[in-house]
Amino acid sequence: MFINREIAQLILLQRNELTNPTLQKIRKIFGRRFFTKFVSKYFISPKLIGNEYLSLMKNEYDIVSKFLDFDKKNVLSIGSGLCGLELIIDRNHSIKKFSIIEKNYVSKKVVYGWDNKNYEAYNKLSLVESFLINNGLKKEKFEIFDFDSKKLPDKDFDIIISLYSLDYHYNFDVYLDFFKKVFKKNSKIIFDTIRADYFTNLFDSVKIISSNENTVHKSKRIICEGIKL
């Protein structure tokens, strides 16, 4: 897997579980600001982070692929981080196109909690693009949208995926109006939440597909179909 220090830093900030006990100790002693700016960049092994990230993403693929048929589908990824999952999906299926919505900045101090205002972000879209291309995803197979530019994709999606992003760090409502435009009858969405029951008000079908007890919040991963308009 092609990876460099800047990309490994973002991956570490996006995936808290890759922060090993030594790094956690440094974070505790020197604070989150110092950790985010220096430690996460210079105290890491990009190769090791790359390998661990790949194996995390393979696990995620094993979970979601049991419930989704990706072939010839338009896939929307929300808060996809570096898009390791999308690379694995692409290697195993013939996707129509990925649309990716992310934010294009790194918060000064990564907090990993519920972010009421949805200000927290840890991504750089130019690096996502080079990571995807250098790892074999063709330019014409994906499109990246900056959430804050307010220009979001304008087409229907078969599949929407948001792992540890939508309704895990920020409220589902941020995307509700947009979803009402891009969902079609058989569209499916998978995301992580601590309030699975709430979504029975919004969708015709809500199924829990896995439980994540080791994460910051004890969340469930759910798959929903049939958005109520």
Contact residues toward ligand SAM (CB under 6 A) are: 14-15, 78-81, 101-103, 118, 121-123, 147, 163-165, 169-170, 174
118 vs 141 by CB, closer to ligand SAM = 118
58 vs 186 by CB, closer to ligand SAM = 58
- Cβ 63 to ligand SAM, closest distance in Å? 11
Buried b (16+ CB within 10 A) or exposed e, 107-127: beebebeeeeeeebbbbbbeb
Q: What distance, in Å, lies between the first and last C-alpha atoms of the chain?
A: 42
14 vs 74 by CB, closer to ligand SAM = 14
- Cβ 117 to ligand SAM, closest distance in Å? 10
- Cβ 78 to ligand SAM, closest distance in Å? 5
Q: Cα-flanking dihedrals φ and ψ of residue 14, to 5°?
A: -80, -30
Q: How far is Cα 178 from Cα 183, in angstroms, rounded to an integer?
A: 9
Kind of pairing between the strands at 219-227 and 203-212 = antiparallel
Adjacent-strand bridge partners of 77: 100, 161
DSSP 195: -
Tokens of 106: 């790194």
* Tokens 């197979």, located at residue: 141
Nearest CA-CA partner of 160 in 85, 82, 57? 85
Q: How far is Cα 69 from Cα 66, in angstroms, rounded to an integer?
A: 8
Q: How far is Cα 188 from Cα 184, in angstroms, rounded to an integer?
A: 9
- Cβ 83 to ligand SAM, closest distance in Å? 8
- Cβ 130 to ligand SAM, closest distance in Å? 16
8 vs 101 by CB, closer to ligand SAM = 101
84 vs 158 by CB, closer to ligand SAM = 84
* Tokens 């569209």, located at residue: 187
65 vs 118 by CB, closer to ligand SAM = 118
- Cβ 213 to ligand SAM, closest distance in Å? 17
